[in-house]
Amino acid sequence: MEFPLYDVLIVGGGGAGLRAAIAAAETDPGLKILIVSKVYPMRSHTVSAEGGAAAALRPEDSWENHAFDTVKGSDYISDQFVVETFVREAPVELIQLEHWGCPWSRDPDGKISARPFGGMTTWRTCFAADKTGFHMLHTLFQTSLKYDRIERLDETFVTSLLVEDGRCVGIAALNQRSGVMSAVRAKTVILTTGGNGRIYAFSTNGNICTGDGMALAYRAGVPLKDMEMVQFHPTGLPSTGILITEAVRGEGGYLTNNKGERFLKDYVPSKMELGPRDIISRAMVTEFEAGRGFAGPYGNYMHLDVRHLFMRELGLDYVGIDIVHDPIPVRPVEHYMMGGIDCDITGATSLPGLFTAGECANVGLNGANRLGSNSLSECLVFGAAAGRAAAHQAQEAKAPTSNPVDALLKDETRRVEKKYLESRQGTEKLAEIRVEMQRSMDEHVGVFRTAEGLKEEEKLIAGFRQRFARLKIEDRSHVFNTELTAALELDYMLELAEVMTASAINRKESRGAHARRDFPKRNDEHYLANQIATHVPGGKPKLEFRPVRITHWQPQARTY
Amino acid sequence: MAETVEVTVQRYNPETDSAPRLQTYEVPYKDDWVVLDAILYIKDHLDATLSYRWSCRMGICGSCGMNVDGHPKLTCSAHLREYRRGFTVEPLSNFPVIRDLVVDIDDFMAKLKSVKPWIVRELEQPLGDGEYLQSNNQIDHYRQFSQCINCMLCYAACPVYGMEPEFLGPAAIALARRYNLDSRDEGTVERVNVLAASEGIWECSCIGECSVACPKGVDPAKAIQQTKFDTVNGAIMSTMLMPFGNRR
């Protein structure tokens, strides 16, 4: 059988994936490019980002300042060479997006405007009203339609990477509409599948954020990096986890405890509400534990008060909060994965032919804590870099032949059919395993961690995986079987939850978002390093530390 | 016994059903739930075979559009408290049903591309020269048309699209208008052929259901009327000013 062949195949159609596709098309208009997404690209979770995209565009700012804020924010385990490249490229990318039609909010002189944001020392966060991610995503998607060489396979779920002779040669995927498994050959593959927040019960992430690309790469032998580094955003709505944008604090909103105090004075006195997310989230939990939170049906919460700002609309009317007259209840919520697929500055991974960018990647920008508004810019800068690098490699690479792909696809089809659709032995319910995983991850791998809790979680995950092996899929049909895709996603999430927990156990210090109660101090002697997790078939992840690259900024105490 | 609500869902599985059927579930009632929460409850606790799309839960990804009691809604933004006496959920009207509540929107995807929803310019300013200047006032010209999340509620609401599937439809025309009104764009002439074709703006019979259905405050009916006006004006102007020239 002949399988379709592409030069650049991109898995995921969000900000990074679309930017990569356009970059590849502009690098060489002769290349055949394919975007494979499990949703229509405009449904991708980039759409939910509100606050903005960071770039040192304004004359009073400088790339050095942006770089230092990012490095300090990362608690010194970002790759400083990567950070420098990023901050120099970000302004160019934002202007590129402007040329493509993104409706950036403007200053009176008609230039792109900026607003203050947590952890940034100056006004550097460019925004498109309160829908920056939405406008970015739709601008990129609509612009991508201009290129006839960019094709798409929408609503197609990738089940594995095809690897032949130590090279990534394509993908095996389930067409959700037909339920048919098929393979696509590719000279290069770029993983841009976004985050994995659905591993947690209380998360800002959409239903689709299940870490697919991270798991795909990991199972193909590519290491994951810093998987213990999970960002908790301070201001989620207690019931649903829907995010109140950080721009609200940027514009002057206050966080207050049940004494009516702006409690951040005791934690980040010089920054207050504009402190970085990890520190504010910890401050909130510490206040809760001291009995200074408000009690509600969904646990403790704080007040985010914007009554003095005369803001009218935050899109909150539908949750029944009148922000003009009442403070907004908020509590820390899982928001972003700093960890991800280990790659170099071009997005290249250790597997030849495989690239990655965006939240599913860990290029070394965010370290132990990402600054708000760096991730949208990251999607653009490193999406474009990966697209260009993959395009260049595809120009030189030989086309993978169909023969091995045929055999790989047969194996993969058998695996999926047998495990999920044919097995009649199962007893375990998908939703039950998922909910238990999510709740236990909230409890044990949250804002604060302990060896005890993490070890408990390790045991629980092993149990979930055993139960998953006895899964009962009730839906046996092929057409748009969302129980099947949910099972494939849960399989990915359980794999990643194991890596995250093991990584968290192994980093015996507190740094950035990783706060160990049993090791409350940062330990530069041992852990000024990135943690690399490698898949060991049938065993626990292999973990090792790799020193970070420091160019200009020596580690200092991270106080604000 | 806690309070419950009856949810009737249209089911259709092409592998086993010859026609759509209705199935009723009893779901807990919670005051702060939305319709999507009730559907999620069915999937997790009552019937794992129910298929539908959803993701962001905050009214921006556009996945979870369905007909609720006959009206197209984003189910993540439709409050359960407005449907206390029970309700019916069906797939969006006017689209082929793939399965259960999942509809086929490929037709829109093709139409979207046909209106060239990107910035068209004769000359690109180099990136090094910075951004194209644009005032917030100029953004206001097209802002509302840029808010479309492609949720397809307007197509489900449009009686013309129901009768004439070739009709370009509200969202595609609104997005064409969004670019036509953008001070950075020079593509109006390129889009006019598609917009003024027989399946374009003139199909619309000005009922305005699209604008009522839109959950993001876009007014596609206005976009269509404005485009009609501009097209007629443009045609008159070109005949009066250049009766022999500018023929394309």
> What DSSP string describes A112-145?
BP-B--TT-SSS-EE-STT-HHHHHHHHHHHHHT
Name the residue among A504, A508, A510, A498 with its Cα closest to residue A536.
Answer: A498
Q: Which residue has the tokens 């213990």?
A: A228
What pLDDT shows up at residue A320? 67
Q: Under an 8 A CB cutoff, do B55 and A43 touch?
A: yes
* Active site (annotated) includes residue A449: no
The backbone torsions φ and ψ at residue A348, rounded to the nearest 5 degrees and listed phi first, read -70, 135
Query: What's the rounded Cα separation, in Å, for the pair A137 and A46?
Result: 6
Beta carbons of B179 and B191 less than 8 angstroms apart: yes
Which residues 425-484 in chain A show a CB within 8 A of chain B? 429-431, 435, 473-475, 477-483
Query: What's the rounded Cα separation, in Å, for the pair A410 and A300?
Result: 51
pLDDT in tens, chain A (560 residues): 789 999 999 999 999 999 999 999 999 999 999 999 999 999 999 999 998 999 999 999 999 999 999 999 999 999 999 999 999 999 999 999 999 999 999 999 999 999 999 899 999 999 999 899 999 999 999 999 999 999 999 999 999 999 999 999 999 999 999 999 999 999 999 999 999 999 999 999 999 999 999 999 999 999 999 999 999 999 999 988 989 888 889 889 999 999 999 999 999 999 999 999 999 999 999 999 999 999 999 999 999 998 888 765 565 655 667 788 889 999 999 999 999 999 999 999 999 999 999 999 999 999 999 999 999 999 999 999 999 999 999 999 999 988 889 999 999 999 998 888 877 789 999 999 999 999 999 999 999 999 999 999 999 999 999 999 999 999 999 999 999 999 999 999 999 999 999 999 999 999 999 999 999 999 999 999 999 999 999 899 999 999 999 999 999 999 99
Q: A243: nearest CA in chain B?
A: B58
Name the residue among A89, A81, A87 with its Cα closest to residue A122.
Answer: A87
Beta carbons of B145 and B177 less than 8 angstroms apart: yes
**Distance of CA A449 to CAs A282, A364, A503, A519, B32, Å?**
11, 23, 12, 9, 31
Q: A320: nearest CA in chain B?
A: B32
Q: Under an 8 A CB cutoff, do A103 and B146 touch?
A: yes
| Contact residues on chain B for A45, CB-CB shorter than 8 A | 55-56, 61
| Contact residues on chain A for B13, CB-CB shorter than 8 A | 477, 479
By CB atoms closer than 10 A (0-12, 13-18, 19+), residue B88 is: middle
pLDDT in tens, chain B (248 residues): 589 999 999 999 999 999 999 999 999 999 989 999 999 999 999 999 999 999 999 999 999 999 999 999 999 999 999 999 999 999 999 999 999 999 999 999 999 999 999 999 999 999 999 999 999 999 999 999 999 999 999 999 999 999 999 999 999 999 999 999 999 999 999 999 999 998 999 999 889 999 999 999 999 999 999 999 998 887 777 666 655 544 44
Q: Do strands A5-11 and A181-191 pair parallel, antiparallel, or not at all (unpaired)? A: parallel
Residue B135, number of CB atoms within 10 A of its CB? 14
Name the residue among B110, B61, B68 with its Cα closest to residue B86.
Answer: B68
By CB atoms closer than 10 A (0-12, 13-18, 19+), residue B65 is: buried
What pLDDT shows up at residue A2? 85
Q: Note whether ipTM > 0.90 here.
A: yes
**B228 min Cα distance to partner chain A (Å):** 24
* Active site (annotated) includes residue A249: yes
- Can you say whether the dihedral through the CA atoms of A290, A294, A300, A303 is positive or negative? negative
Residue A507, number of CB atoms within 10 A of its CB? 24
DSSP conformation class of B198: T
The dotted CATH code for A233-334 is 3.90.700.10
The number of residues making up chain A comes to: 560
Name the residue among A530, A532, A531, A523 with its Cα closest to residue A555.
Answer: A523
| Contact residues on chain A for B59, CB-CB shorter than 8 A | 315, 318
Beta bridge partners of A189: A9, A354
- Given A152, A185, A233, A467, the catalytic residue: A233
Q: Does A344 touch chain B (CB under 8 A)?
A: no
| Contact residues on chain B for A99, CB-CB shorter than 8 A | 119, 124-125, 127, 131-132, 184
Query: What's the rounded Cα separation, in Å, for the pair B204 and B200?
Result: 8
Query: What's the rounded Cα separation, in Å, for the pair A220 and A354?
Result: 10
What pLDDT shows up at residue B246? 45
Query: What's the rounded Cα separation, in Å, for the pair A106 and A88?
Result: 21
Query: What's the rounded Cα separation, in Å, for the pair A284 and A212?
Result: 31
Q: Does A40 touch chain B (CB under 8 A)?
A: yes
| Contact residues on chain B for A48, CB-CB shorter than 8 A | 56, 58, 60-61
**B236 min Cα distance to partner chain A (Å):** 30
What structural domains does chain B harbor? 4-103 (3.10.20.30), 106-241 (1.10.1060.10)
What pLDDT shows up at residue A312? 59
By CB atoms closer than 10 A (0-12, 13-18, 19+), residue A413 is: middle
